[in-house]
Chains A and B, each alone.
Chain A
């Protein structure tokens, strides 16, 4: 890194302008989600909210869920969002449920990724496995092949396994997508732990599992956190797989539910408030992850090459 030796104010001016440009869309989304409809749907937008309302958050959070309805309760069941003008009926899901669905899959992916990557990384580091290097390369290959090319076979596979339209199916797919990063990270993490540490513990009679749990993992926490951060990133932000492989309305993921709001209805219909509110809701968990664990994002991309 160079020590800055130029004109101070230029540096700050340029950076400030860039920061404003980059943050503007997010800022705009936020204020749009809290403006009252009159102020929002206008051809003369205001750059800070003159009015304030939480109605959009309220509305989308509590959309009624349309699920398999038993006919005997049909008359009381006003839970379908009936499009007022076209008369068509769409099955939508409350954003709270969609949020939960995405959370379930993300947490599942995190847990599975951590387990699978840790074991694989540990095995590849400390054991003399036949074809160790080959296996390692194999585990990295998914990053080179686009999942899109494989969606049809994956679809058939899920059907055979009975995993279509299931959280577990998505979790497995996301975890597989995480394999390259996860195994790579954990192997790196374990490689930097001296072998002697393990040898001593083995001599003392501790089981392998205990070693992993009590000795290795605490030392590999940065690696673990990186895996966690990326698992969350890949799983929470996934659109294509969630779109294609989840069919039931009650299992819809957050991104897809928001897409339904965005793309449904006419352009005159006031969906923008709901959409921006939904976007903020979707953004918040990942922002939290990011703020707390920023360095692990960076580390994951560069393999800890960037100084903080």
Chain B
């Protein structure tokens, strides 16, 4: 056996565990989900080929559109919130002075907490009877005189309440991404703009942000992808209520599969979500291509 051949075999053997895991637990389910979405899968008995029926059925179901609409609204509202906080803290941390590292680690702290735990924490903060945020809001003057102030009875306020939690939780990651980008901007640029007498705002607008484009792109892509897949935050905090106004696409998928045991449509829904993500990511990459 030639030396090259031996090297190839050993090399492949080394990557084998990873490839095995990938094939079994990722590639196979991936193809299987396409396959399943084209069948009707009864709990007992043989699956039946139905072609695109599951997709047609799903698209004709109001529940799908309701969840899609909400998922998009949520994405559109939470992304700017995240971004603004992230860029603000990134700019703040982009200075070489005592305490910067400390501040940076604090801003990143909520990221490491699990999503579920963060949801519980904020559920407590928002508790209608005993939550401190409600208490503070009432102290400022919100809320009806007699009754309880609850953020969960209206779909709109419920969404913003959850947005606050998500911003708190994830701005840190975005901050780090943006910070990395900020730190790669050479000082000469700042030097030049200072010499030209530009105000801080003008500097940020004309120099920093454009040069930051790749990082912004990355941060946005991750953020939007995550929002479209939202599940835990709403499942725990609102359960999709009130009246399914805060139900996300993923919640519908899981419900379809695990509560109603309609596996074909659930798989179809999964493929639809994947496609949506794919398209949106493509669009974003297109838009940001100019950055390069």
Whether A149 contacts B270 in the complex (CB less than 8 A), given A25-B125, A236-B114, A239-B114, comes out as yes
Q: Which of chain B's residues has its CB closest to A253's CB?
A: B116
Among A4, A11, A26, A152, point to the contact of B263 (Cβ < 8 A).
A152
Q: Which residues of A contact B180 (CB under 8 A)?
A: 301-302, 305-306
Most chain A C-beta atoms within 10 Å of own C-beta, residue among B8, B36, B120: B120
Interface-lining segment among B55-63, B128-136, B155-163: B128-136
Interface contact A152-B277, CB-CB below 8 Å: no
Write the B1-42 contact mask toward A (1 if CB under 8 angstroms, else 0). 000100110111111111101101111111011001000000
Interface contact B15-A123, CB-CB below 8 Å: yes
Among B17, B176, B258, point to the contact of A298 (Cβ < 8 A).
B176
Bound state CA distance, A1 and B94, in angstroms? 6
Q: Which residues of A contact B183 (CB under 8 A)?
A: 1, 305-307
Whether A153 contacts B8 in the complex (CB less than 8 A), given A120-B14, A233-B112, comes out as no
Most chain A C-beta atoms within 10 Å of own C-beta, residue among B26, B116, B132: B116
Q: Which residues of A contact B122 (CB under 8 A)?
A: 25
Interface-lining segment among A72-80, A86-94, A134-142: A134-142
Bound state CA distance, A146 and B116, in angstroms? 18
Interface contact A148-B253, CB-CB below 8 Å: yes
Interface contact A120-B15, CB-CB below 8 Å: yes
Q: Which of chain B's residues has its CB closest to A140's CB?
A: B22
The A227-245 residues at the B interface (CB cut-off 8 A) are 233, 236-240, 244
Bound state CA distance, A287 and B266, in angstroms? 37
Whether A119 contacts B254 in the complex (CB less than 8 A), given A11-B95, A142-B26, comes out as no
Whether A18 contacts B103 in the complex (CB less than 8 A), given A148-B231, A149-B273, comes out as yes
Interface contact B18-A149, CB-CB below 8 Å: no
Cβ-based interface call for B73 (8 A): no
Interface contact B177-A2, CB-CB below 8 Å: no
Bound state CA distance, A208 and B270, in angstroms? 43
The A93-128 residues at the B interface (CB cut-off 8 A) are 115-117, 119-120, 122-124, 126-128
The B243-292 residues at the A interface (CB cut-off 8 A) are 250, 253-254, 257-258, 263, 266-267, 270-271, 273-274, 277, 281
Cβ-based interface call for A283 (8 A): yes
Q: Which of chain A's residues has its CB closest to B128's CB?
A: A267
Interface contact A18-B107, CB-CB below 8 Å: yes
Interface contact B18-A157, CB-CB below 8 Å: no
Q: Which residues of B contact A29 (CB under 8 A)?
A: 121, 124
Interface-lining segment among A60-68, A175-183, A217-225: A175-183
Q: Which residues of B contact A18 (CB under 8 A)?
A: 89, 92, 103, 107
Interface contact A294-B105, CB-CB below 8 Å: yes
Among A148, A183, A301, A305, point to the contact of B173 (Cβ < 8 A).
A301
Interface contact A15-B103, CB-CB below 8 Å: yes
Q: Which residues of B contact A155 (CB under 8 A)?
A: 257
Q: Which residues of A contact B17 (CB under 8 A)?
A: 115-116, 119-120
A interface residues, Cβ below 8 angstroms from B? 1-4, 6, 11-12, 14-15, 18-19, 22-23, 25-26, 28-29, 32, 40-45, 115-117, 119-120, 122-124, 126-130, 132, 135, 138-139, 141-142, 144-146, 148-157, 172-173, 175-176, 179, 183, 208, 233, 236-240, 244, 255-256, 258-259, 262-263, 267-268, 272, 275-276, 278-279, 282-283, 286-287, 289-290, 294, 297-298, 301-302, 305-308
Q: List 8 A-B contacts (CB under 8 A).
A: A1-B94, A120-B19, A146-B274, A149-B270, A176-B26, A259-B116, A262-B120, A305-B184
Given contacts A4-B95, A15-B92, A305-B180, 18 further A-B contacts (CB under 8 A): A11-B95, A25-B110, A26-B109, A28-B125, A44-B135, A124-B11, A128-B8, A139-B22, A148-B254, A149-B270, A152-B270, A153-B28, A157-B24, A236-B114, A240-B231, A258-B116, A282-B117, A286-B112
10 closest A-B pairs by CB:
A127-B11, A123-B14, A237-B114, A149-B270, A120-B18, A153-B29, A153-B32, A305-B180, A302-B180, A129-B11
